[in-house]
């Protein structure tokens, strides 16, 4: 007997919201429904498909392999629906003008540049003013129209959404990895800030017993020093995996880190060009979840 599988887009909206917010309560807030409704919809989809879509952990709802696949397709449907809605409403005529965009340095090697180039080719009348900075953009001071931010949470005057949580791990030059296996006392961790010695993050990686050296509170300096010396550096996987001269340290664990947020000014939320860029970025991140999580290479 073949079991009939029936689900609809409304159910998939709930699955997508859980993946993007990382929790049942976050999805409920995003969809303006109660906690029980989200849980009921999730249970319905899982029962219909006969598989678990999310694992419940202390860090939140983590998509299973089946969940990742469903979320990817749901995200594509979401973008298609929104694009069709814009077109039907005759909004394409508004897809012109400037957008000031702020992104952190860490995302530059991860393919964001190619995404923006493709966007510009698709919308040649939109002018992007790009600022690459690790400083949090102040929307109240009109410093940007849209910002991609790496953060645990957002509490300023911006609106937007959490797209995904990423992971980090230990990286080093290949010769440093060999030295670590033969003479671990000759290898040290690169520090980030004054509190590093008591923060416990080195133990989380599983690479313990090494001394701490220097204070380099910036990805670029960490990368350059680790390339040329006997040091380990802790980097987001989407950054470390793209660095020439660095490899993952054998045996190092993945550590759940911050989330990627797409934020924009509240007075710009109905602007067609901003919505088009936001949806392009969301489609990129949704399609590269395995890469950003550290579980796989970029597609």
Q: What is the pLDDT of residues 131-171, one digit of tens each?
A: 888 877 766 566 788 999 999 887 666 788 899 999 999 99
The whole-angstrom separation of Cα 130 and Cα 140 is 18
Instruction: Write the class of the CATH domain 101-299.
Output: alpha beta
pLDDT tens-digit series, residues 284-296:
999 888 898 887 6
- Distance, in Å, from the CA atom of 216 to the CA atom of 193, rounded to the nearest integer, reads 7
Q: What pLDDT sits at residue 20?
A: 85
pLDDT tier at 5, thresholds 50, 70, 90: very low
What are the structure tokens assigned to 165, written together? Answer: 């949580």
User: What pLDDT score does 90 carry?
Assistant: 45
One CATH from 1.10.10.10, 3.30.70.141, 2.40.280.10, 1.10.357.10 for 9-76: 1.10.10.10
- 154 CB neighbour count, 10 Å cutoff: 17
pTM above 0.75, yes or no: no
Domain positions in the chain? 9-76, 101-299
Q: What secondary structure letter does DSSP report for 199?
A: H
Determine what percent of the chain is predicted with pLDDT higher than 70: 87
Residue 3 — pLDDT band, cuts 50, 70, 90?
Answer: very low
Q: How far is CA 162 from CA 26, 99, 182, in A?
A: 10, 20, 42
Give the residue-averaged pLDDT of 270-274: 85
What is the structure's pLDDT at 182? 93
């Amino acid at each position: 007997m073949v079991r009939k599988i029936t689900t609809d887009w409304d159910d998939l909206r709930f699955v997508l919201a859980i993946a993007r917010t990382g929790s049942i309560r976050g999805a409920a807030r995003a969809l303006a429904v109660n906690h029980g409704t989200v849980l009921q919809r999730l249970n319905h989809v899982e029962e219909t498909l006969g598989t678990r879509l999310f694992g419940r952990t202390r860090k939140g709802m983590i998509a299973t392999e089946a969940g990742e696949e469903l979320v990817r397709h749901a995200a594509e449907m979401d973008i298609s629906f929104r694009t069709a809605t814009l077109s039907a409403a005759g909004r394409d005529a508004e897809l012109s003008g400037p957008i000031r965009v702020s992104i952190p340095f860490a995302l530059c090697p991860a393919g964001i540049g190619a995404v923006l180039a493709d966007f510009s080719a698709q919308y040649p009348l939109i002018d992007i003013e790009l600022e690459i900075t690790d400083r949090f953009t102040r929307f109240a001071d009109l410093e940007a129209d849209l910002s991609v931010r790496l953060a645990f949470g957002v509490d300023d005057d911006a609106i937007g959404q959490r797209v995904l949580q990423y992971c980090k791990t230990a990286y080093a030059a290949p010769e440093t990895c060999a030295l670590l296996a033969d003479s671990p006392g000759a290898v040290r961790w690169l520090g980030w800030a004054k509190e590093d010695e008591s923060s416990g993050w080195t133990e989380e990686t599983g690479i313990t017993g090494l001394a701490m050296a220097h204070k380099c509170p910036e990805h670029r300096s960490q990368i350059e020093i680790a390339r040329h010396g006997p040091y380990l550096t802790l980097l987001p996987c989407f950054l470390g995996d793209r660095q020439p001269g660095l490899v993952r340290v054998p045996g190092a664990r993945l550590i759940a880190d911050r989330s990627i947020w797409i934020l924009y000014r509240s007075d710009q939320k109905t602007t067609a060009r901003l919505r088009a860029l936001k949806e392009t970025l969301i489609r990129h991140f949704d399609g590269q979840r395995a890469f950003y999580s550290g579980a796989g290479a970029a597609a």
